[in-house]
Amino acid sequence: MALTDLNPLIEKAKELGSLEVGFLSASEVVVAHWVRLKCMFGCPDYGKFRTCPPYTPDAEEMKRILSEYNQVMLIKTTSHDKATEIVAKLMGWLYSQGEFKAFPLGSGRCRLCQECDIENCRSPHMAYPSMEACSIDVFETIRRVGWSREERSPEGDFLHYGAVLLW
Ligand code: SF4
All residues at 6 or more sequence positions from 39 whose CB lies less than 8 Å from its CB, including other chains: 46, 52, 53, 132, 133
- Domain-embedded: residue 2: no
At residue 129, the pLDDT reads: 97
Task: Say yes or no: CB of residue 37 within 6 Å of ligand 1.
Answer: no
Residue nearest to atom 2 of ligand 1 (CA): 113
Position 1 scores a pLDDT of 63
Q: Which helix (H) or strand (E) holds 94?
A: helix 80-96
- Measured CA to CA, the distance from residue 65 to residue 46 in angstroms comes to 22
For residue 127, the model assigns a pLDDT of 96
Does the C-beta of 121 come closer than 6 Å to ligand 1?
yes
Question: What pLDDT, on the 0 to 100 scale, is given for residue 16?
Answer: 97
Q: What is the separation, in whole angstroms, between the first and last Cα of the chain?
A: 7
Domain range holding 51? 7-165
String of DSSP letters for 15-58: HTT-SEEEEEEGGGS-B-HHHHHHHHTT-TTTTTSTTSTTSS--
In a domain, 160, yes or no: yes
90 CB near ligand 1 (under 6 Å): no
How far does residue 55's CA lie from ligand 1's centre (Å)? 13
Please indicate, yes or no, if residue 90 is contained in any of the structural domains: yes
Number of domains observed in the structure of the chain: 1
Q: CA–CA separation, 162 vs 147, rounded Å?
A: 13
Mean pLDDT by 10 residues, the chain (167 residues): 87 97 97 97 96 98 98 96 96 95 96 95 95 98 96 92 97
User: Residue 165: which H helix or E strand, with range?
Assistant: strand 160-165
Which atom of ligand 1 lies nearest, measured to the CA of 51?
Answer: 5
